[in-house]
Structure 1
């Protein structure tokens, strides 16, 4: 894999897991809209009638409103159903096949070790601030592979984010604008980049794909595993 035109700045190492605090590659994207609807209540006209007796109280000769037929003979237009958000996966373990789990464990890493739970310092960030913000703000399942004791700088972290069609389109537009490499696979387009830095002494990168109502956002450092993204997609979405 080749790096983007402007290589991200190497992440700073922390005590346990490296956090990629990289300067944004290009511009961020995010937009929201708020629509306001005003309901107008039309008062009902008083019935055009009067009690019998005094001729001066007789009904006027002004025309009354035509009654609405009970059956107009035409069907009312129906609005398209609102898209439904995909369900958040129950847990991280179910995302991986047995063979992928065994391969990852062979590198000496564990899935969500105890010291990473509720620890914001345990993890990897994303190079682009907008992608980082979305994974932090939107509902997500975070799956982190790293050493059980936190003594090594290697790690691989994925955010599985259920997205609506417009959200997925925004993510893909942002990825395309950043100049990431892209490849058509898994029934969608995967965006990725990686960097090897001899001075820093390591390699790191990212992989992103929106497919089946989910955004799989992965960052890794010194732990790039072939077939990792495809394994998750096939287990959750079922795309070949």
Structure 2
């Protein structure tokens, strides 16, 4: 093998026989060619740079593809759900104001001017009005549900009295009641022996008790209408048209 290598080197050192001019450059020894070295030193770095650039580009493309694949694999699939149809904005409804109470503010307001003057002409004095606990509850002849209903409801208690005679007078209570309460009261009155009279746009329940020795008669007049209960107790003074004037003044004619 050494001999073959020496022959190869010897062949390189031997001068080639002269050839045609077109082939002279190829026949010259490699060591003596002035252009061989510049070509190798110039082309090789650019080849290396090109290869490095291609490798860098390939790495970048590979990285981008990998990232794209990862993004596609990890990104959850989103589906657009149909949005509910927007309903038109509702106009804010105004809070209805509570209906004004029919309950009078003062005792003077439950009577017509003419009837008030008629009663006052007797010398009786009308109280200003009581809206607190009852001052003079009704007697035992009146069912307890009447008194309890009045006590639990907004009410106005009024009294006609004489300064020189406490045995004569009229007491009236006007109270706000519901339809259910009015029904309970009227049923209790019927059960207690009150007589019902259809008048004034409703049924007025009345009862009269004969007087005893030293005391005159006394009686009751109770009517419920349009959310109000008008209950009157009189003692030895059955004033005609009394309940009718109150109902017509406070609630109006039926």
1:101 to 105, 116, 139: 116
Tell me the distance in 2 between the aligned counterparts of 1:53 and 1:208: 88
1:215 to 229, 234, 238: 229
Kindly provide the CA deviation profile for residues 128-147 of structure 1, in whole angstroms up to 9, marking residues without a partner as x: 22211222221101111111
Tell me the distance in 2 between the aligned counterparts of 1:92 and 1:196: 28
Is 1:194 the counterpart of 2:208 in the alignment? Answer: yes
SS class of match (1:179): coil
Q: Measured at CA, do residues 118 and 91 of structure 1 come closer, stay the same or move farther in structure 2, by a change above 3 Å?
A: closer
2:168 to 146, 154, 157: 154
The structural deviation recorded for 1:68 is 4.8
User: Which residue of structure 1 lines up, in the alignment, with residue 57 of structure 2?
Assistant: none
Is contact 1:158-1:216 (8 Å) kept? yes
User: Which residue of structure 2 lines up, in the alignment, with residue 228 of structure 1?
Assistant: 242
RMSD: 3.6
Tell me the distance in 2 between the aligned counterparts of 1:169 and 1:104: 32
User: Which residue of structure 1 lines up, in the alignment, with residue 158 of structure 2?
Assistant: 143
TM-score, length-scaled by structure 2 = 0.58
Q: Which has the higher helix share?
A: 2
User: Which residue of structure 1 lines up, in the alignment, with residue 181 of structure 2?
Assistant: 167
Is 1:123 the counterpart of 2:136 in the alignment? Answer: yes
Count of paired positions = 178
Q: Measured at CA, do residues 54 and 159 of structure 1 come closer, stay the same or move farther in structure 2, by a change above 3 Å?
A: farther
User: Which residue of structure 1 lines up, in the alignment, with residue 11 of structure 2?
Assistant: none
Q: Measured at CA, do residues 71 and 176 of structure 1 come closer, stay the same or move farther in structure 2, by a change above 3 Å?
A: farther
TM-score, length-scaled by structure 1 = 0.61
Of structures 1 and 2, the one with the larger relative CO (CA 8 A, separation 6+) is 1
1:176 to 190, 193, 199: 190
Tell me the distance in 1 between the aligned counterparts of 2:132 and 2:154: 18
Tell me the distance in 2 between the aligned counterparts of 1:186 and 1:92: 20
Q: How does 1:10-159 map to 2 (within 5 A)?
A: 53=71, 55-56=73-74, 58-59=76-77, 68-71=84-87, 84=99, 86-112=101-127, 123-126=136-139, 127-148=142-163, 151-159=165-173
For the pair shown, the structure with the greater C-alpha radius of gyration is 2
Identify unmatched segments of 5+ residues in structure 1: 1-51, 73-80
